[in-house]
Structure 1
Amino acid sequence: MNTVWMTVAAYLIGSISFAVVSSKLFGLADPRTYGSKNPGATNVLRSGNKGAAIATLIGDALKGWVAVWLAIRFQEKLNIGDATIALVAIAVFLGHLWPVFFRFVGGKGVATAAGVLLGLNPWLGVATLVTWLAVAFAFRYSSLAALVAAVFAPFYYGLLFGVEPQLAAVAAMSALLVFRHSKNISNLIAGKESRIGSKAKGK
């Protein structure tokens, strides 16, 4: 029973779209109406409001971290196994991708995935974030950085901890991240992908 309610709770936490919430607080247009129409920090940044973008980034990452950290923190008390931790990790991520509070229209999950990885293990999160930053700094494409980091995340987990239930969750998140970036992959190949910091049309 604990596994069921913790998984549901994680999904509901993930369903909070900080891109939409932050945009409302900063008096901005709904991020689902401009740019890539993706409710995420990169698209919010296209509004020109760095504060809203940072708030979105922190909020989306924090919800992933909180869900996983709480599950690990109370693992022994609630008598749950590593498989439940893995379910919580993927549930909060799925909540971000398909949020029940926002008609199942969510973001691509990069920040939330980073929070989940940091929650599972700080070194895992740092290694993946460094990969993202290195690619983003070198090429100025957020999507490319996310794709490369997604590919490396399961490799880092396996290298650090071996084959565990959480590895399956990390691999599933990585696969979903690549899937959610399918349009970005096409744009990158065609040379049409927007670079980090570029403003949305009409802004």
Structure 2
Amino acid sequence: MNTVIFILAAYLIGSVSFAVLTSKMFGLPDPRTFGSKNPGATNVLRTGKKLAAAVTLLGDGAKGWLAVFLALRLAPTYGLDETAVAASAIAVFLGHAYPVFFGFHGGKGVATVLGILLALNPWLGLAALATWLLATYMFRISSLSALIAAAFTPFYGWLWLKSGVLVAAVAALSLLLMWRHKSNIQNLLSGKEHAIGKTQPGDAPPQ
């Protein structure tokens, strides 16, 4: 029963969409209505409001970190092991991807996964972040950078996590992240995915 409570709490934390809330706070259009229609920092950035995008990025990362941090600290108190932590990590991601508060239309989860990884092990999170930054510098395509980082992250988890259950959770998160990018993968294969900073018709938010 306690594990179910942990999962539910993590899912609800993940369901807070910082892209939508931040856009409202800054008087911006709903990010689900323009560009990629993805409620995430990259789409918020298409409005030209860098501060709003930064707040979205930090908020989405923080909720992933918070859910796992609380699970790590509280699980032993309730007689739970790493399984509850792993379940909480996946639940907060699913909350972000399919938020109950926003019609189950959520983001792709890159920042949230980074927050999860930082909570599990700072070196794990930093390694994933460094991979994303390097790929971004090389290719200038946000989705491709996320996919490359996701591909390497299970290996980083194997290096820095002592629990096989947590390594499995990290691998599952990487696969889920790739699944959430399936439309981007199709665009990459067809040459339609555009670089950071370059806009296409329909990317601009409604005025």
Q: Taking structure 1 as the reference length, what is the TM-score of the superposition?
A: 0.96
Letter in 2 for 1:85: V
Dislocated runs of 4+, deviation >3 Å: none
Q: SS in structure 2 opposite 1:172?
A: helix
Letter in 2 for 1:105: H
- Measure, in 1, the Cα distance between the counterparts of 2:124 and 2:190: 32
Cα RMSD for the two superposed structures: 1.3
- Measure, in 2, the Cα distance between the counterparts of 1:55 and 1:86: 26
Q: SS in structure 2 opposite 1:77?
A: helix
For residue 54 of structure 1, report the CA deviation from its aligned partner: 0.2
Deviations 1:93-152 (A, max 9, x none): 000010000110001000000000001110000000000000011111110010011111
Counterpart position of 1:157: 157
Letter in 2 for 1:107: G
The answer to whether residue 66 in structure 2 is matched with residue 52 in structure 1 is: no
CA contact (8 A) 1:17 1:60 kept: yes
CA contact (8 A) 2:15 2:100 kept: yes
For residue 51 of structure 1, report the CA deviation from its aligned partner: 0.6
For residue 163 of structure 1, report the CA deviation from its aligned partner: 5.6
Equivalence map 1:1-203=2 (5 Å):
1-161=1-161, 164-199=164-199, 200-201=203-204
CA contact (8 A) 1:46 1:198 kept: no
5+ residue gaps, structure 1: none
Letter in 2 for 1:110: V
Q: Taking structure 2 as the reference length, what is the TM-score of the superposition?
A: 0.94
5+ residue gaps, structure 2: none
1:202–1:73 distance in 2 versus 1, CA, 3 Å: closer
Identical columns (%): 59
CA contact (8 A) 2:16 2:101 kept: yes
